[in-house]
Amino acid sequence: MISKHYEQVCYRTEQREESLPLRHMRDGRLGYTLGCTPEGETVQVRLVNGELDSWSRDECMESF
């Protein structure tokens, strides 16, 4: 995910309290955003199976 998209996802997640779908590019897992860590450029996600995970912005993309 490019920096601009990462910033938009984080804004919508943290300011608008939206949970956006993201897909992990390596393994195809689907997760929904919970929060962001700007210092490390990571996104915290809740996976479809309920587990929590953290992905770097380079590992994921928006899923529509």
Residues 6-47 have pLDDT tens digits of 999 999 999 999 999 999 999 999 999 999 998 999 999 999
The answer to whether residue 64 scores a pLDDT higher than 90 is: no
Residue 64 lies in a domain: no
Residues 36-54 have pLDDT tens digits of 998 999 999 999 999 999 9
Residue 15 lies in a domain: yes
Residue 42 lies in a domain: yes
51 or 64, higher pLDDT: 51
Domain count, the chain: 1
Residue 28 lies in a domain: yes
Residue 27 lies in a domain: yes
Residue 43 lies in a domain: yes
The CA-atom distances, in angstroms, between 30 and each of 4, 18, 39, 45 are 21, 16, 23, 9
Residue 44 lies in a domain: yes
The domain containing residue 26 runs over which residues? 3-59
